[in-house]
């Protein structure tokens, strides 16, 4: 049976053709080989038609074109560089034909337009964007360890200007409709319903002026830029890229070199340079790792949270109650309000309620464009916030999330009290970071409607939400919790009940080991440096100060009690907490924080007094051993977690750590990194460390994988 066409051709007016992208049975238009072949066929026929212009648009709501089909490309990661360059060349030359047709071509963009979709639009003579909030334009290829390869570097630098193209391509950030117009990508932003009419008017105007023909000639030529200006742009952009990537992501710097060198060449020569240089990045370890992260994220977007979900519609969460107006409670409330969900926020302390409500309103009123509070946003969102000290005003919500102090007894009291006042169809959840759901469900009348919905701090920045199902949590509860998290633009991962769940269970061995190294005499700066050199966003000891030493101590107690054989209680941590050194929030922890606003830690000589009391005699490990000691306990704990069935898929482990603690994407994830090392090498790295105890002894799963020659992504 013939597959329905992804591109249809019609006439808007007798001499204006329209190519409409609408790939059947898919939520997004993707530039697969089949779709590109269709485009090639249409362009062949259009070239022979007596037209005034061609419009390109999409019928999919909220989507123009979402880029190339990465699954097709991923199978060619081992392709020789010359074949990769040829593949890029074919795509670029296909799109280039849009700028060679004997009439003007216009892209009418409504919705997401990224990657290959943006490159296609750039090869058109003109572009219009809708002013809808869902419209964005971007070239995010550096986030995959490459850069645009179908002429994006060539056209962007000529149409937007070299400096703008450098910013757009090396950052990978998308443009809003307003930014797209200001930067010169689009002629104008138009209401979506008038987009095609405006495009037709643009074609009629260009028929008279023929400006598009003059632009075509100009954009085929080298860019006229003085040597001094070019050198300054190169130096400043390179410095910025180095500071942001720390040398761990090669694509942005290579893209910069291609943009600068290509600016002095003709469009065809610059395109060939683009193809050749992209081929050098394709299939590299960083490219493979970042493509893996893309697939992890893509899978998560489609995951309902349970195996074999029914087709029955899941009841939508339309109102949320948050109990506890502290940092986490107010952050959760703000995340809901920003997505137009009404929130009742409850706290017994009036001053805490006032502070928390103020935090919610400040966050929802913040305008990213102006970088300050927006009165219009405040007016829009403020009616959605109800601050209260009365249980009854929270208990009427579709979902109530408890976010009080991390104490099991206190949480159980709050949960039981709220459940009694809630309607039968409502969900009850806890934001606990470590306490097992089963313990908190004790005494609840309906544990099947109870689960964990664990947000990460700061909520506004961290995409991950752990949805924790207790032994009695129903599938329907999980489905509703997952759908709620996605509705507020978070990435939920479902995990089974366990102390620390997924992220904290893997994070604590890493953090705990850093304190073991510290008391063994390894310099604090060296521990931090090796963690950051591996790619972590901050060192583990800085992380203690950011989290709060008291919070780490209380949460760590749960982990020590659950896994005493491999998590050692640190007397150093307890001593610092007793001394009131709680981290950034008190101005001193492992580091000193003389400037509370900047939050940057400084070495503190006072720490030596505490260290001396708990110093152990131990040989000083080399740098490679320090890295192994930090990350191998995390890996071994992940194998135990897999053996226990805490997660449904190895990919949940990797995405959870990337989104939850900032595990370096260029490593592809903890288990992806382990697969790259191979089990034989991991066992060899563990051998000299086994005397340190169970936390460095191979697990049955790791031994079995080594015997059978398997990888985590094959399990």
Residues annotated as catalytic (active site), given as ranges:
454
Using alpha carbons, select from 102, 8, 2, 111 the residue that is nearest to residue 60. Answer: 111
222-261 as b/e: b if 16+ CB within 10 A = ebebeeeeeeebbeebbebbeeebeeebbbbbbbbebbbb
Distance CA 589, CA 576 (A): 7
Q: Which residue has the tokens 């007397």?
A: 571
Any idea what the Cα angle at residue 393 is, between residues 391 and 396, rounded to 5°? 100
Tokens for 581, please give them. Answer: 């050194």
Ordered DSSP codes for 76-93: TTTS-HHHHHHHHHHHHH
Q: Is 431 helix (H, G, I), strand (E, B) or coil?
A: coil
- DSSP-derived secondary structure letter, 116: H
Phi, psi of 552 (to 5 degrees): -65, -35
Distance CA 603, CA 587 (A): 12
Distance CA 640, CA 646 (A): 9
Tokens for 215, please give them. Answer: 């632009």
Phi, psi of 488 (to 5 degrees): -100, 20
The rounded radius of gyration (Å) of the Cα atoms in the chain is 28
Tokens for 563, please give them. Answer: 């896994």
Q: Which residue has the tokens 């180095």?
A: 242
Q: Is 647 helix (H, G, I), strand (E, B) or coil?
A: strand
Helix H or strand E encompassing 455: strand 450-455
Ordered DSSP codes for 662-680: ---GGGT-HHHHHHHH-HH
Q: Where are the alpha helices (DSSP H) in 224-339?
A: 227-245, 251-262, 267-281, 285-302, 327-337
Helices (H) and strands (E) in the chain — how many of each? 31, 19
> Cβ distance 175 to 138 under 8 Å?
yes
Using alpha carbons, select from 460, 456, 453, 482 the residue that is nearest to residue 659. Answer: 456
Bridge partners (DSSP) listed for residue 126 = 106
Sequence-separated (6 or more) residues with CB below 8 Å from residue 90:
none
Tokens for 452, please give them. Answer: 């964990």
Sequence-separated (6 or more) residues with CB below 8 Å from residue 545:
583, 584, 589, 590, 591, 593, 601
């Amino acid at each position: 049976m013939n597959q329905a066409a992804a591109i249809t051709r019609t006439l808007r007016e007798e001499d204006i053709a329209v190519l409409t992208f609408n790939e059947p049975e898919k939520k997004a238009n993707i530039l697969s080989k089949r779709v590109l072949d269709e485009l090639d066929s249409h362009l062949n026929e259009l070239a022979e038609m007596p037209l005034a212009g061609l419009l390109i648009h999409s019928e999919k709501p909220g989507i123009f074109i979402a880029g190339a089909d990465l699954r097709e490309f991923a199978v060619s990661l081992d392709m020789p560089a010359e074949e990769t360059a040829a593949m890029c060349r074919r795509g670029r030359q296909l799109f280039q034909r849009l700028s060679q047709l004997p009439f003007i071509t216009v892209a009418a963009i409504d919705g997401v337009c990224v990657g290959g979709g943006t490159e296609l639009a750039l090869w058109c003579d003109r572009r219009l964007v809708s002013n809808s909030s869902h419209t964005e334009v971007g070239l995010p290829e550096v986030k995959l360890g490459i850069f645009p390869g179908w002429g994006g570097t060539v056209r962007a630098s000529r149409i937007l200007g070299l400096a703008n193209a450098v910013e757009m391509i090396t950052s990978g950030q998308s443009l809003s409709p307003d930014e797209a117009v200001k930067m010169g990508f689009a002629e104008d932003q138009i209401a979506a319903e008038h987009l095609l009419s405006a495009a037709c008017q643009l074609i009629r105007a260009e028929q008279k002026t023929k400006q598009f023909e003059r632009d075509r000639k100009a954009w085929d030529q080298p860019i006229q830029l003085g040597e001094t200006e070019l050198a300054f742009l190169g130096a400043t952009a390179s410095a910025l890229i180095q500071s942001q990537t720390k040398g761990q992501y090669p694509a942005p710097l290579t893209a910069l070199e291609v943009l600068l060198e290509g600016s002095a060449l003709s469009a065809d020569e610059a395109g060939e340079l683009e193809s050749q240089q992209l081929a050098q990045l394709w299939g590299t370890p960083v490219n493979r790792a970042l493509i893996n992260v893309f697939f992890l994220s893509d899978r998560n977007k489609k995951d309902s949270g349970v195996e074999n979900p029914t087709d029955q519609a899941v009841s939508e969460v339309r109102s949320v109650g948050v109990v506890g107006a502290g940092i986490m409670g107010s952050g959760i409330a703000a995340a809901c309000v920003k997505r137009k969900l009404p929130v009742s926020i409850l706290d017994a302390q009036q001053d805490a309620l006032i502070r928390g409500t103020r935090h919610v309103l400040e966050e929802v009123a913040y305008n990213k464009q102006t970088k300050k509070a927006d009165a219009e946003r405040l007016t829009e969102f403020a009616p959605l916030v109800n601050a209260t000290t009365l249980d009854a005003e929270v208990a009427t919500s579709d979902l109530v999330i408890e976010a009080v102090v991390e104490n099991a007894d206190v949480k159980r009291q709050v949960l039981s009290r709220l459940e009694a006042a809630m309607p039968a169809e409502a969900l009850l959840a806890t934001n606990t970071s470590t306490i097992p759901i089963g313990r908190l469900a004790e005494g609840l009348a309906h544990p099947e409607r109870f689960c964990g919905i664990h947000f990460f701090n700061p909520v506004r920045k961290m995409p991950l939400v752990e949805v924790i199902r207790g032994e009695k949590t129903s599938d329907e509860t999980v489905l509703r919790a997952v759908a709620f998290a996605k509705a507020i633009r978070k990435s939920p991962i479902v995990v089974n009940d366990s102390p620390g769940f997924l992220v904290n269970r893997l994070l604590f061995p890493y953090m705990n080991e850093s304190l073991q190294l510290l008391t063994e005499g390894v310099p604090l700066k060296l521990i931090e440096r090796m963690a950051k050199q591996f790619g972590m966003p901050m060192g583990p000891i800085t992380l203690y100060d950011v989290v709060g030493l008291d919070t780490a101590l209380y949460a760590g107690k749960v982990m020590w009690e659950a896994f005493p054989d491999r998590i050692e209680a640190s007397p150093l941590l307890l001593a610092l907490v007793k001394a009131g050194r709680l981290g950034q929030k008190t101005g001193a922890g492992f580091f000193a924080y003389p400037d509370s606003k900047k939050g940057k830690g400084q070495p503190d000589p006072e720490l030596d007094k505490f260290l001396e009391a708990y110093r152990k005699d131990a040989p000083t490990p080399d740098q490679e051993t320090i890295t192994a000691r930090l990350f191998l306990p995390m890996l071994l704990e992940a194998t135990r977690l897999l053996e226990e069935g805490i997660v449904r898929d190895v990919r949940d482990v990797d995405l959870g750590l990337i989104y939850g603690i900032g595990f370096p994407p260029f490593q592809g994830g903890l288990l992806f990194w382990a697969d790259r090392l191979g089990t034989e090498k991991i066992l060899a790295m563990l051998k000299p460390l086994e005397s340190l105890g169970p936390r460095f002894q191979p697990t049955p799963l790791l031994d079995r994988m080594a015997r059978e020659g398997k990888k985590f992504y094959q399990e």
